[in-house]
Chain A
Amino acid sequence: MSFPDPIAVFRTEAAELLEQIEAGLLDLNVNLGDKDQVDAVFRGLHTLKGSGAMFGFDALAAFTHHCETAFDRVRKGEVPATQELVTAVLEAKDHMRALVDTPNGDHEATGEALLANLRAAVDGANSPGAASPAKAAPGRSHFKIRFSLPQNAMANGTNPLPLLDELRELGECKIVANRSAIPSLELLAPTDLYISWEVELLTTQPRSAIDDVFIFVMDEMQLDVVTVEPPLAAGTPGKTETASTEAGPAAAPVAPPAPIAPAPVDAKQKKTAENVRVPAEKLDELMDRVGELVIAQSRLSQLAGGSGDLQLRAVSEDVERLSGELRDTMMVLRMVPVTQLFGRFRRLVHDLAHETGKTIELLTEGETTEVDKSVIERLADPLVHLVRNSCDHGLETPEERRAAGKPEAGHILLSARQQAGEVIITIKDDGRGINKERVRAKAESSGLIAPNANLTDQELYQLIFQPGFSTAQTVTNLSGRGVGMDVVKRTIDALRGTINVTSHVGKGSEISLAIPLTLAIIDGLLVRVGDGRYVIPLSAVEECLELPIEEDMRSRGRSFISLRDSLVPFLRLRDLFRTGTKPDPFQKVVVVSTGSERVGLVVDQIIGDHQTVIKGMSKLHHDVATFSGATILGDGDVALILDVGHLVAEGQQQEAHLRAAG
């Protein structure tokens, strides 16, 4: 059994913390008075600093400390949150990521420059002109604190010394270690902690500041805090000793600054306890095993089916059911919400707005839509290109928007939804739209299309995904070189997805990416065409019909069937694949669809449903558009998986030609 590398675990946690910090900063940027976000950012920085120090990332801890201090001052109302401060900490956050990734790198000069920015932002915020709301000078409180950390605290990486240092930072502090529980050397479990502490603290901070020190061990530790005297400034005579023996939250004796409520931390810790962190590659490995199991099960089913042994058949059916359930569970494990994907675009749009001088609002919808994790990972780059393109070329400058009677702020909507085994990711902007004439002129001048070629709008828009195609009149450092959109197309093709573009001049553009929910295993419909077997993704199958020979004869030359008063084009796969075989007397039509477009696929036989473990095509067959992959059948034969999107497009094209021919 192997244990995960603690440094790798820290890096993963640090990446999540940095994402949370970034999200908090971006939310704060929208509403600078949002105290919850100030607290959230502070908590994130505090945790990152503490964890960094714990795992030996000293440079990270030292650097983060400055940002944490800045946010602590905001939290305490000493300085207001400003956009300059948010920007400085956002930039610092990128530096923290570098310190996590390459702790031994040469980061000093960059760090110093960023800290200078941070200081300037804090000083600027603290200037008389930007003074924070007047804050009454609080009096000093006298606390007696007794605490003991969990016995396994040190083994779990909690170092008591930084906690004691933090207590000292709160005010005048006397700390005494209680050694009475330390056993004799032979009885000592050396990584356990037997020491407890008694602390006397004179501070202007509220009780909640003490809770904050222990915020990440609060659930498991013993903490007694006693207020010995009321704040001196309050002038209340007498001694009113207030006991608090709970480790949890306590009422703050001094009003400002508002404390961080410990409740969210409790929730976070509970959530952590309910989840198990698993490295992504382990999931991939498990998925491969499940795939092999599905193939073996398929083989077993065939053997059992051909055998007269009823017991073998019963066992085979059980294995089939269990492997199906295992596959479904596995698929759920791999699904992650697209919010992980969308989250990163907030920063991108924030930075792009800054770079282009535009006011851009990013809206998101359907963030809880779940997609296979490998799809999410591979969608990131294409979406970055599309969002960049929308920001840079799609949206107008504020002046142009005002002149066009539009609101000054441009909008980009990122949305996700599931539709029949696919996830549809849409990037929509309310910018200037795609100029069809300019696209056509560019395509003609570069020889992509013949002059005056008859193209539909969709065909015209698809040209923007050709390598080197750009209609941008100016090349910026963001986009305009025509590099990127072809990468988008290639990536989406590789994901077996499709791109749909709609655009209206002056109103904006919408690019929809339709991607299969999973890339690993699908439910398929196994069919026979001639002597070969093929898989049609079941999620695309609408219905199956019989095609009697006389109907087949009648339809020769038109290839349409009438389906509930609507004509559906169909493709004879036997002809398409040039099998050279005679048609089966009882052919079937499998009606498949992508969205609103439908096409019938004529096959010789429908064999049945089949759990399909998708294997990629070899490089040699990579350009064969009719197939999206292959799978191994139970008897060891290979079946090709039909690319429904391509076949539907081909059917529609056939329909268009026939209609045009009258």
Chain B
Amino acid sequence: MPASDVKEDCLRLPQNLTVRAITIVQQEMLQFLDKTASATIELDDDCQVDISFIQLLEAARIYADTAGKHIALARPASGSTLDVLKRSGFLEGMSAEDLKFWLHQGGIQ
């Protein structure tokens, strides 16, 4: 049984989004993106996140760009995701695109 929950274009990711589980998350995300043109990623409020997940989403954005697909977060980053973004220095020097993707700032996605 997959760790994630798929609803139409929405991929709800499991709670564990750390390096220990990131390989499975990558596989599921790849399978999901292959099937859809527009993907929305839904994160649990109390999900566990580390930098491997931030890196994975950045890689997914590159993949979506190259493949002509759209990827977005269902909600602006909050909780531990936002905390990791801050601590890892991702928030510093974000482009408008980055701000839109991660924080839903600067327009509707």
Identify the A interface with B (CB < 8 A): 154-155, 159-161, 164-165, 174-177, 179, 182-188, 190-191, 193-195, 197, 199
A175 contacts B33, CB within 8 Å?
Answer: no
Partner of A185, one of B50, B52, B59: B59
Q: Report the separation of the CA atoms of residues A174 and B91 in the bound assembly, to the nearest whole angstrom.
A: 11
Which residue of B is nearest A164, CB measured? B87
Those of B62-106 within 8 Å (CB) of chain A: 62-63, 66, 84, 87-90, 92-93
Q: Report the separation of the CA atoms of residues A203 and B66 in the bound assembly, to the nearest whole angstrom.
A: 42
- Minimum CB–CB distance for B74 against chain A, Å: 18
B87 contacts A190, CB within 8 Å?
Answer: no
Q: Report the separation of the CA atoms of residues A159 and B58 in the bound assembly, to the nearest whole angstrom.
A: 18
Interface centre among A161, A179, A190, A195 (most CB of B within 10 A): A190
B23 contacts A190, CB within 8 Å?
Answer: yes
7 CB-based A-B contacts, threshold 8 Å: A177-B89, A185-B30, A185-B62, A190-B22, A190-B23, A190-B55, A199-B89
Q: A182-B55, A190-B22, A191-B52 are in contact. Are A160 and B88 (CB under 8 A)?
A: yes
User: Secondary structure of the B side of the interface?
Assistant: helix
B88 contacts A177, CB within 8 Å?
Answer: yes
Q: Report the separation of the CA atoms of residues A183 and B92 in the bound assembly, to the nearest whole angstrom.
A: 21
Q: Which residues of A contact B59 (CB under 8 A)?
A: 182-185, 187-188
Q: A179-B58, A191-B19 are in contact. Are A161 and B87 (CB under 8 A)?
A: yes
- Minimum CB–CB distance for B33 against chain A, Å: 7
Q: Report the separation of the CA atoms of residues A177 and B85 in the bound assembly, to the nearest whole angstrom.
A: 9
Q: A154-B51, A164-B89, A177-B88 are in contact. Are A188 and B56 (CB under 8 A)?
A: yes
Q: Report the separation of the CA atoms of residues A174 and B89 in the bound assembly, to the nearest whole angstrom.
A: 8
Q: Report the separation of the CA atoms of residues A155 and B23 in the bound assembly, to the nearest whole angstrom.
A: 11
Q: Which residues of B contact A183 (CB under 8 A)?
A: 59, 62
Q: Report the separation of the CA atoms of residues A184 and B62 in the bound assembly, to the nearest whole angstrom.
A: 5
Q: Is B60's beta carbon under 8 Å from chain A?
A: yes
- Minimum CB–CB distance for A584 against chain B, Å: 72
B58 contacts A160, CB within 8 Å?
Answer: no
Q: Which residues of B contact A164 (CB under 8 A)?
A: 87-89
A195 contacts B55, CB within 8 Å?
Answer: yes
Which residue of A is nearest B22, CB measured? A190
Q: A161-B50, A186-B63 are in contact. Are A175 and B26 (CB under 8 A)?
A: no
- Minimum CB–CB distance for A276 against chain B, Å: 25
B51 contacts A182, CB within 8 Å?
Answer: no
Q: Is B29's beta carbon under 8 Å from chain A?
A: yes
B62 contacts A190, CB within 8 Å?
Answer: no
Q: Report the separation of the CA atoms of residues A179 and B98 in the bound assembly, to the nearest whole angstrom.
A: 12
Q: Report the separation of the CA atoms of residues A184 and B61 in the bound assembly, to the nearest whole angstrom.
A: 8
Q: Report the separation of the CA atoms of residues A274 and B66 in the bound assembly, to the nearest whole angstrom.
A: 45
Q: Which residues of A contact B13 (CB under 8 A)?
A: none
Q: Which residues of A contact B56 (CB under 8 A)?
A: 185, 188, 190
Q: Which residues of A contact B22 (CB under 8 A)?
A: 190-191
Which residue of A is nearest B26, CB measured? A190
Q: Report the separation of the CA atoms of residues A649 and B97 in the bound assembly, to the nearest whole angstrom.
A: 90
A155 contacts B55, CB within 8 Å?
Answer: no
Q: Report the separation of the CA atoms of residues A595 and B83 in the bound assembly, to the nearest whole angstrom.
A: 69
Q: Which residues of B contact A179 (CB under 8 A)?
A: 55, 58, 90
Q: Which residues of A contact B51 (CB under 8 A)?
A: 154, 159-161, 193, 195
B29 contacts A185, CB within 8 Å?
Answer: yes
A185 contacts B33, CB within 8 Å?
Answer: yes
Q: Which residues of B contact A161 (CB under 8 A)?
A: 50-51, 84, 87-88
Which residue of B is nearest A197, CB measured? B89
Q: Is B25's beta carbon under 8 Å from chain A?
A: yes
- Minimum CB–CB distance for B72 against chain A, Å: 15
Q: Which residues of A contact B29 (CB under 8 A)?
A: 185
- Minimum CB–CB distance for A3 against chain B, Å: 14
Q: What is the 8 Å Cβ interface bit string for chain B, positions 28-64, against chain A (1 contact, 0 not)?
A: 0110010000000000000000111001101110110
B62 contacts A182, CB within 8 Å?
Answer: yes
Other contacts beyond A176-B89, A184-B59, A190-B56: 7, CB < 8 A? A175-B88, A175-B89, A183-B62, A186-B30, A188-B26, A190-B19, A190-B22
- Minimum CB–CB distance for A59 against chain B, Å: 17
Q: Report the separation of the CA atoms of residues A159 and B90 in the bound assembly, to the nearest whole angstrom.
A: 16
Q: Report the separation of the CA atoms of residues A176 and B93 in the bound assembly, to the nearest whole angstrom.
A: 7
Partner of A194, one of B26, B33, B50, B55: B55
Q: Report the separation of the CA atoms of residues A179 and B66 in the bound assembly, to the nearest whole angstrom.
A: 17
Q: Which residues of A contact B58 (CB under 8 A)?
A: 179, 182
